[in-house]
Structure 1
Amino acid sequence: MNVTDFAAAQWTRATGAGVDPHEYRRLTAGLTSLADWGPAFSRTGHAHNACAEQAGSPVSAGEHLLMAARWFHLSTLAPYAEAGRAAAEADRALGRALSVLEPGARRVTGDGFTGWLRGPSDAPGTVIVVPGLDSAKEEFLDLTAALLARGLAVFAMDGPGQGALAATTPVTPHYEQVVGRVVDALGVPRVGLVGLSLGGYYAARTAALEPRVAAVATVSGPFRLDWDELPAPVRDIMTRRAGGAGAARDFARRVDLTGLAPRVTAPLLVVDGGRDVIPGVTNGEPLARLAPHGTYLSVPHGDHLLGNARGDWLFPLADHLAHTLTGAAV
């Protein structure tokens, strides 16, 4: 894929993550090769870091740092030799932003996970945000904000093979074990889960196997994967994140919720985009149908991660988690 087509394919994902669409257009219009993607996006992240240093107020500095975190993360979407460093820069920028904007935010790190716990210490519910194959906690800041606005505490995490841990750990199909350790570390009796893209599989699997999950939502999550049918770029990403082609093929084979879906007994919202059609990926409708308390929200014009249709799913999803965890109208 050439860089023009790649930039077009990533358009709604990038703008859905919260970067300025005009800045994205200006940056990508100047790229001549896919090899330019990572360095150009990282330079933009550094530019926002520099703006933070010169900002006229702590709030402005924090906002520039949040934007830097987004750009550093997006630099890793194309093959990039410095992807590990860029992910570390994204992680660092997010931490610096929260130290300014939310001094009460707490870094929580354990075996196979790291992330930030945000929100009131006496929140009536806690939600864990689970990223996907090549996403990270920095990509879903707006989702976190929507949950925080409803009075919830939010733990936005990177797990094995994700974000800050991508360079040092491979993906794992046994994500419920990671979430179990997260819940232990947070010290709460129950949690809500929201998983995005492959994170939707992780969240549904965890909800089936971890009894402390009291509410769950998935966005563009796969019900099943067929390795042989997956597009080459997806197989390439999975190969890098799994640590080799054999491990990636085995991982894809395990992504199948057929037997687990009936065990997802917590209230479940499954969100799909009608334009999200990827060969080798079975979308979430069977999960919603087989789960005892599943609800299916299909947005006809939505693409993968529905960055082009955020108003159609973001607020209903946040309401679903808040109402389920607190029992209060939102």
Structure 2
Amino acid sequence: MTVSDFADAQWTRAVGAGVDPHEYRRVTAGLTSVDDWGPSFVRTGHAYLERAENAGSLLSAGEYLLTAARWFHVATLAPYPEAGSAAAAADHALSRALTALEPGARRVSGEGFTGWLRGPSDAPGTVVVVPGLDSAKEEFLDLVSALLARGLAVFAMDGPGQGVLAATTALRPDYEQVVGRVIDALGVARIGLVGLSLGGYFAARTAAVEPRVAVAATVSGPFRLDWEKVPPRVRDIMARRAGGADAAREFARHVDLAALAPRIAAPLLVVDGDLDVIPGVTNGEPLARLAPHGTYLSVPHGDHLLGNARPDWLPYLGDHITRFLTDASA
């Protein structure tokens, strides 16, 4: 794949993560190979750190730091020897941004997870946002903002093999154990749960076995994986995140929600884009059909993570989570 093809393939994902589309085009236009991706995006992130240092207000500094976090994270989407350092830089920039912008935000970490709890202490409900195969808490800041705007508290997390933890941990299929520890650490009785991409599998699996999930939603989540048919690039990413090809193959064997979907008692919204076609990946329609309280939202022009169709699903998802989570709290 040429660097131009790679940049085009990541376009809506990067924009959906909050990267300025015009700057994205300027940065990627100067790349000569995919190997240049990581270093160029990291340089852009550092440029925003410098802007933060020279900002005329704490608000401007915080906004620059949020932008830096996004660029550092997107740097990790291509194979890059320093991906661990870029993920750590994204995590640090987000930490500095929230310290500046939201003094009430709280870092919460435990075995196999870390993240930020944001929102009012007296919120009517708390939502946990779960990233996917090569995503991280820094990628879904706009989703978090949509949930915060509805009065909810939100914990955006990195789990095993994800974000800042990818350098020291590996993907695990029993993610419900991690979410269980998150709920314990947050000290809440019930949560809403949103999972994106592979995080959709983690969220659906957790909703099937964790009774404290009051409502759930998946976005571009797989119902089933067929390792032999998954594209080599996806297998390579999974191998890096799982700890090797054999571990990745074994992990993929677990990604099948056929038996778990009927056990999901909570209201479940499944969001897919019709243009999200990945060989070896069965999308979410069977999950919505088999879940007792499943709703399927299919966006005809949506791609993976639907960064090209935000108005078609994000408000609906925010309202879905808020309605059922606050009803459960009441």
Interval of TM-score (by shorter of Structure 1 and Structure 2): over 0.9
Secondary structure in structure 2 of the residue aligned to 1:123 = coil
Corresponding position of 1:211 = 211
Unpaired stretches in structure 1, ≥5 consecutive residues = none
Corresponding position of 1:250 = 250
- The answer on 1:280 being equivalent to 2:280 is yes
Corresponding position of 2:113 = 113
Corresponding position of 1:122 = 122
Q: How far is the alpha carbon of 1:320 from its aligned partner?
A: 0.3
* Residue type at the aligned position of 1:30: G
Cα distance in 1 for residues equivalent to 2:10 and 2:51 = 25
Cα distance in 2 for residues equivalent to 1:209 and 1:58 = 43
Corresponding position of 2:321 = 321
Matching of residues 189-208 of structure 1 within 5 Å = 189-208=189-208
Cα distance in 2 for residues equivalent to 1:310 and 1:227 = 30
Secondary structure in structure 2 of the residue aligned to 1:228 = coil
Cα distance in 2 for residues equivalent to 1:34 and 1:92 = 25
> Percent identity at matched positions?
79
Two-structure CA RMSD over aligned residues (Å): 0.7
Cα distance in 1 for residues equivalent to 2:132 and 2:119 = 23
Normalization by structure 2: what TM-score? 0.99
Cα distance in 2 for residues equivalent to 1:134 and 1:106 = 24
* Residue type at the aligned position of 1:223: F
* Residue type at the aligned position of 1:217: A
- The answer on 1:180 being equivalent to 2:180 is yes
* Residue type at the aligned position of 2:245: A
Corresponding position of 2:55 = 55
Corresponding position of 1:96 = 96
Cα distance in 2 for residues equivalent to 1:327 and 1:245 = 44
Matching of residues 35-184 of structure 1 within 5 Å = 35-184=35-184
Q: How far is the alpha carbon of 1:327 from its aligned partner?
A: 2.8
Cα distance in 2 for residues equivalent to 1:293 and 1:44 = 44
Cα distance in 1 for residues equivalent to 2:183 and 2:248 = 27
Cα distance in 2 for residues equivalent to 1:57 and 1:20 = 21
Alpha-carbon deviations, 1:144-172, whole Å to 9, x = none?
A: 00000000000000000000100000000
Cα distance in 2 for residues equivalent to 1:35 and 1:134 = 17
Cα distance in 2 for residues equivalent to 1:101 and 1:31 = 33
Normalization by structure 1: what TM-score? 0.99
Unpaired stretches in structure 2, ≥5 consecutive residues = none
* Residue type at the aligned position of 2:260: L
* Residue type at the aligned position of 1:259: A
Cα distance in 1 for residues equivalent to 2:21 and 2:257 = 36
* Residue type at the aligned position of 1:57: S
* Residue type at the aligned position of 1:125: G
* Residue type at the aligned position of 1:159: G
Count of aligned pairs = 328
Alpha-carbon deviations, 1:45-68, whole Å to 9, x = none?
A: 000000000111111100000000
Task: Please identify runs of 4+ aligned residues in structure 1 that moved more than 6 A.
Answer: none
Cα distance in 1 for residues equivalent to 2:202 and 2:107 = 22
